[in-house]
Amino acid sequence: MKTPAPRIALIHATALAVDPIAAAFVRHWPEARRMNLLDDSLSVDRAEAGSLNAPMVQRFIDLASYAKGTGCHAILFTCSAFGPAIEAAGRAVGLPTLKPNEAMFDQALAQCGNAGGTLGLIATFEASIASMSAELLQMAGERGKKIALRTEFVAEAMQDLAQGRADQHHRKIAEASRNLGGCDVVMLAQFSMAAALPLVQESLGCPVLSSSDCAVLALKDRMRNG
């Protein structure tokens, strides 16, 4: 009897991440069975609070526990700016749990030279920049790599996407990405930015990474190889 494909829980803090991660699964791992959980108040509450707090961390644990209870084999959070909460959720449920940017950071660091390099991070959700920067710098330090990190926030692009102006969303990101010229690798912080990658790549001479594609490929490898 053929072994059923793994059931993957996708936990979102914004509806804008649902289609990009679904498209990434279609491209890279179509046989995986997906379920979606959405709490679209998380990003709003995180922005208003200014930092993660204990009740918000507990909400992540509760979401992960619900996913485990439905029979999921692994969890992928698609929401940036919540790294410590995602780590706590993974510890609580004991399932393979992937932070949204973990795989992208890993790939970006691998593409740097042995000593390090200059990385660019472009985001449409401003609250995610500080936590993602800290996470990336910690990963670099653990690998003995000294990196310079340049960041760029694209104001109003997320609102454009939410209101159906995808072309403007992509254009604004591409225009802002030119401020990161000279980087060794540029990363698109939010899953919702994935569709802008081709336009951004046209604007830059370095590799451009999408968090959604990197995450799906990493989770597929983890589930297949243990």
Q: Residue 1 has what pLDDT?
A: 55
Q: Which is nearest to 8 in space by CA: 218, 194, 197, 191?
A: 218
Q: Residue 119 has what pLDDT?
A: 97
Residue with tokens 């694209």: 154
Q: Residue 79 has what pLDDT?
A: 86
Whole-Å CA distances, 83 to 50, 127, 155, 223: 14, 12, 22, 21
**7-100+213-225: CATH class:** alpha beta
Query: Do the first three CATH levels of 7-100+213-225 and 102-210 match, i.e. the same topology?
Result: yes
- Alpha carbons 125 and 129: distance in angstroms, whole number: 8
Q: Give the three-state DSSP class for 13.
A: coil
Q: Residue 83 has what pLDDT?
A: 85
Q: Does domain 102-210 have CATH number 3.30.565.10?
A: no
pLDDT averaged over 10-residue windows placed end to end, the chain, 226 residues: 84 92 95 95 86 91 97 93 91 94 94 86 92 92 93 96 96 97 95 94 94 94 84
Name the residue ranges covered by the structural domains of the chain.
7-100+213-225, 102-210
- Check: CB of residue 222 under 8 Å from CB of residue 106: no
Residue 191 tokens read as 């899953």
